[in-house]
Structure 1
Amino acid sequence: MKIAVVILNWNGVQLLEQFLPSVLQYSPEATVYIADNASTDDSISFVLANFPSIKIVKNDSNLGFAGGYNEALKHIDAEIYALVNSDIEVTENWLQPILKAFENQPETAIIQPKILDFKRKEYFEYAGAAGGFIDEYGYPYCRGRIFDTLEKDNGQYDNNCEIFWASGACFFIRSSVYKELKGFDADFFAHQEEIDLCWRAFNKGYKIKYTSESVVYHVGGATLQQGNPKKTYLNFRNSLLMLTKNLPKDKLYWILFCRMVLDAIAGLQFLLKGKFNHFLAIIKAHGSFYSLFSVHYKKRYKFQSEKYYNEKSIVYLYFIKKVKVFSDIFGSGINIKKLNL
C-alpha cells in the first residue's frame, strides 16, 4: 500500500531541523514530502541541502492548513495520505499498525495514532490525544483531554476503537476518500477543518478509527499559540460554519442559537478577565459567520446523521458537574465501541 507522509510547512525551518530526522528514520515504508506554503525563510534550501530524498511541493501562497494541503495533495500520488504537522516526533514502527488497519478494514477511511505531549511525554497532547468526539452542540473533546484538562497516559486508552474525529496534527486518510470529499474546506483556513472533514466522512458512512499501537509526540501551538486572538477567532467562526454544514436539519437553527448564547457568555468571560482582544475576536468571528452562512449552508449533504454525538453537553459536564477526565463520562452516556484494528 503506497503511503505519502506529507508535512505542511510555513517558515518552520527550526521545526524541520528538529523533527525531520525522526520522520525519515522511522518511515521507510513511505515517501516523505514537504508541502510548503510559500515560506520566506530558509526552509526549502535547508531541506534540499540536508534531506535530498525528501520531495518538495511548493504552493504559490500561504493557503493555511486546509488550502495548503488541498493544493499540495493534487500533486502527490499515494493510496494513503499521512498529514503530519512539522512539530511531530514519530516513533519506531509508527506506520505499520496504520497500514495494517487500512489493508484489513476497507470501511475505515481515517485513522489517528496516540498523540502524546512532546514536552511532557507521559501526558496526552491537547490536539487529539487518544481520539476525538463532539457533544450535541458541536464542542470537541478527546479521550485524554477535555477542554484544558490533560490526562496522564497510564494505558487507560490502549484500546483500538471507533472515534468521531481524528486530529489534524497526525491524520491518516485514504486518498480516494479525501478526493471524494473534496478535501478540507479551504474557507476554514485553519482550525477545526479536520473535524469538519471527519463529520462529512461520517455522514457518508465511513469509519474513523484510533489505534494506540502507533505513537507520536506533538509540541502543539507551534504555529498559533493557544492564547492568540487569531486562534480564538478561527475556532469560534469555524465551529459555527461546521455546524451549519453538518447538523441534521431539524437541529440546525436551535443549536446555532444555543451556541450563539454560549459564545456570548464566553465573550463576557474574556471581557471580565481583561482579554479584550479575545472578546473582539469572538465578535469578528460571528460577523464573518453571518456573512458566510448562506455559502456554507449550500455545502450541506443530502443526508446528515442524527447519531453524531455520544454526550449531550460536555460544557455542562465539565463546568457544572466538574467531570474533568474522559473515563468519568461513561456513566453519562458515552458508549465507546472496542474494535480490533
Structure 2
Amino acid sequence: MNVSIVIPNWNGEERLRRNLPKVLEVGDVDEIIVVDDGSTDGSVQLLEREFPKVKLIKKQKNSGFSSTVNLGVKEAKGELIFLLNSDAVPARDCLKFILPHFKDPRVFSVGLNNGGSWSWAKFEDGYFWHYQSKEKTPKIHQTLWVSGGSGVFRKDIWEKLGGLDELFDPFYEEDLDLGYRATKRGYINLWEPKAIVEHGKTKGVIEENFSKSSVSAIAQRNQLLFIWKNITDEDLFMQHKISLIKKLLISPKYWSVLISALGKMGKLRSKRLREIKDEAISDKEILKKFKD
C-alpha cells in the first residue's frame, strides 16, 4: 500500500530543520507533504530552499490543526496517511511493523509507540475522560484512538468519516473524536509497540503560541463539544446535563467555557444526528471495552 506522510506546520522552522532530514530517511514512504498553516517565521523559505523533495502546501491564513491536516490528506496520493507533528521523529523501520496490520480491512488506524501505551476512557461525574494506559507491554493492543501527531490512517475510511472535525480547531480532542467515531462504526484502532517514534523535548507549537489559560479554555470547550456530539446514550447524556448544571453553580468561571461551546451549536446539531444514525456500537459497549 502506498504511504503519504503529512506534516502540519505552524511557525516550526527550527523543528523542521532539525527533524525533517530524519523523516526523509523513513522507509516505505511514497511522498512527504508539509502543509504550512500561515507561518510567519522562515518555515516556507526553509522548505523551498532545503527540502525540494517535500511537497509544500501553503495556506495564507492560520486556521488550526484539523483544517490543516485535512487539506494535506485531501492532496495526498497514498492509500495510507502517516500523520506526524513537526517535532516527531519515527524510526526508519517503523512502517514494516505497521503496514501488515492494514491487511485487515477493518483496521482504520495504527498508533506508534512514543514511550507510552494504548488509550482508554471512562465516563465519570457526567464527563468523558480519556487516558493513556500505564501498563508497559510488548504486545499489540486495541486502542480507543490514535494520536494525530504520530499515527497511520487508512485514507478511504478517513474520507467516509469526514476526516478531522474542524469544529475542534485550533486544537485538542480532534483525534480522539475521529478514533471514537471510527470505533462506534465498528472499525479498529491499534497501538503497535514495535513502531517507535520520538517527540521533541522542547516546547511544542501550542506552548509557544498560546497562554496556559487559553489552552485550558480551549481544552474544556472541546471536552464539551466532544460529549455533545458523540455521547448518544440517553442515560449518560442525562448524567452529563446534571453534572454540567452543578459545575456552573459551583464554578461561575465555567460559564465562559459553556458560552464558547454553545457558539458552535449550530454546526454541532447535524453532526450529532449523524452519529446517532451511523452508530453500530453503543457508548456503554465502548466504555466497557476500553477501560483500564
Is the shorter-chain TM-score for this pair beyond 0.5, marking a shared fold? yes
Q: SS of the residue aligned with 2:56?
A: strand
1:109 corresponds in structure 2 to 108
Q: SS of the residue aligned with 2:287?
A: coil
C-alpha separation in 1, matches of 2:204 and 2:108: 28
The answer on whether the counterparts of 1:114 and 1:215 sit within 8 Å (CA) in structure 2 is: yes
2:194 to 213, 218, 235: 213
C-alpha separation in 1, matches of 2:243 and 2:5: 36
C-alpha separation in 1, matches of 2:97 and 2:246: 40
Per-residue deviation, residues 16-73 of structure 1 (Å, max 9, x unmatched): 0111121112235331111111112111111122221111112232121111111232
Unmatched segments (≥5 aa) in structure 1: 117-128, 145-150, 269-278, 312-332, 336-341
C-alpha separation in 2, matches of 1:263 and 1:170: 34
The answer on whether the counterparts of 1:132 and 1:167 sit within 8 Å (CA) in structure 2 is: no
1:38 corresponds in structure 2 to 38
Per-residue deviation, residues 247-303 of structure 1 (Å, max 9, x unmatched): 1241353232255268559x85xxxxxxxxxx95x4432111123235313212214
Give the superposition deviation at 1:201.
Answer: 0.8
**Quick one: structure 1 residues 198 and 18, their matched pair in 2 at CA, closer, same or farther if it must change by over 3 Å?**
same
The answer on whether the counterparts of 1:113 and 1:130 sit within 8 Å (CA) in structure 2 is: no
Q: SS of the residue aligned with 1:78?
A: coil
Give the superposition deviation at 1:228.
Answer: 1.4
Q: Report % sequence identity.
A: 24
1:164 to 136, 140, 144: 144
1:179 to 144, 149, 159: 159
2:222 to 233, 238, 249: 238
State how many pairs are aligned: 279
Amino acid at match of 1:284: S
The answer on whether the counterparts of 1:159 and 1:212 sit within 8 Å (CA) in structure 2 is: yes
Q: State the superposition RMSD in angstroms.
A: 2.4
Unmatched segments (≥5 aa) in structure 2: none
**Quick one: structure 1 residues 92 and 71, their matched pair in 2 at CA, closer, same or farther if it must change by over 3 Å?**
closer
Amino acid at match of 2:20: L
1:200 to 167, 181, 188: 181
1:289 corresponds in structure 2 to 261
**Quick one: structure 1 residues 58 and 262, their matched pair in 2 at CA, closer, same or farther if it must change by over 3 Å?**
farther
TM-score, normalization by structure 2: 0.87
**Quick one: structure 1 residues 233 and 262, their matched pair in 2 at CA, closer, same or farther if it must change by over 3 Å?**
farther
TM-score, normalization by structure 1: 0.75
2:120 corresponds in structure 1 to 133
What are the within-5 Å matches in structure 2 for residues 48-67 of structure 1?
A: 48-67=48-67
C-alpha separation in 1, matches of 2:9 and 2:110: 22
C-alpha separation in 2, matches of 1:192 and 1:309: 17
Amino acid at match of 2:223: S
The answer on whether the counterparts of 1:169 and 1:218 sit within 8 Å (CA) in structure 2 is: no
Bigger drift between 236-245 and 283-292 goes to 283-292
The answer on whether the counterparts of 1:143 and 1:157 sit within 8 Å (CA) in structure 2 is: no
C-alpha separation in 2, matches of 1:169 and 1:39: 18
Q: Does 1:309 align with 2:281?
A: no
Amino acid at match of 2:240: L
The answer on whether the counterparts of 1:131 and 1:167 sit within 8 Å (CA) in structure 2 is: no
The answer on whether the counterparts of 2:111 and 2:146 sit within 8 Å (CA) in structure 1 is: yes
Amino acid at match of 2:84: V
